[in-house]
Amino acid sequence: MMESAPRAMRRRLVLADDHLLVAQGVERLLLEFFDVIALVFDGDSLLDAVRRETPDLVIADISMPGMTGIDVMRRAQDEGIDIPFIFLTMHADSEMASRAICAGGCGYVLKNAAGEELLYAAQQVLEGKTYVTPTLAANAIATAQRRRRNLTDKQQRVLEYVARGLRSKQIAFELGVSVRTVESHKYAIMQELGVHGTLELVRRAEQEGLIMPHA
């Protein structure tokens, strides 16, 4: 169990969840141990808070309006902001845990297990370790190897943007590359997955756990 520290020594935390009651409940749980410097409810606000506050730790949901928690983390990384992220989520599957950790996350905790486990996860992450809810951890590494296949990090990001419905020009803007580069990555991904069109690409990527299924 994490021990409470004097206020002057507490770590600075940004908390993000699009469900107000969940966010407030988690905030109450953490107030004894952290200075919660920002409580936000969507991806864009989370990115703004990370840029503005430079916290010691971010605890974020994955699925939020605007950018996902993983998208925010990657954008922050691209901007040179090196802050550990713990994802607090309802997605109870090892594929999603692997996706979050492979993307650079340091922790993955299920909302229905939050409480002392979340505090323990925060302690582990602040000590430089990685924490995944035990019921998912056993399969997470193997799942990560399966889902990443031979895709590069850039190809993985192109795939995720394609799945969100962005066109090549929009993806190029997001990644800071040329449209030709995006098309080249997209072609390479299709070759790797053995598909010939965008819809088939997204469907196959969802089946293999490369991306989160979209409702």
DSSP structure string for 45-88: HHHHHHHHH--SEEEE-SS-SSS-HHHHHHHHHHTT----EEEE
- Counting Cβ atoms within 10 Å, is residue 87 exposed (0-12), middle (13-18) or buried (19+)? buried
**Alpha carbons 18 and 103: distance in angstroms, whole number:** 21
Give residue-wise pLDDT tens across range 139-159.
665 555 555 567 787 888 899
Residue identified by tokens 């299924």 is: 213
pLDDT at 82 over 80: yes
The reply to whether CATH 1.10.10.10 applies to domain 149-207 is yes
Give residue-wise pLDDT tens across range 160-188.
899 889 999 999 999 999 999 999 999 88
- pLDDT for the residue numbered 215: 46
Same fold for the pair 7-146 and 149-207: no
**Alpha carbons 205 and 22: distance in angstroms, whole number:** 31
* Between 21 and 14, residue with greater pLDDT: 14
Find the range with the poorest average confidence among 11-15, 125-129, 191-195, 204-208: 204-208
Q: CA nearest 157: which of 39, 77, 80? A: 77
- For the full predicted model, state whether its pTM sits above 0.85: no
pLDDT at 17 over 60: yes
Q: Which CATH superfamily is domain 7-146 in?
A: Response regulator (3.40.50.2300)
The domain ranges of the chain are 7-146, 149-207
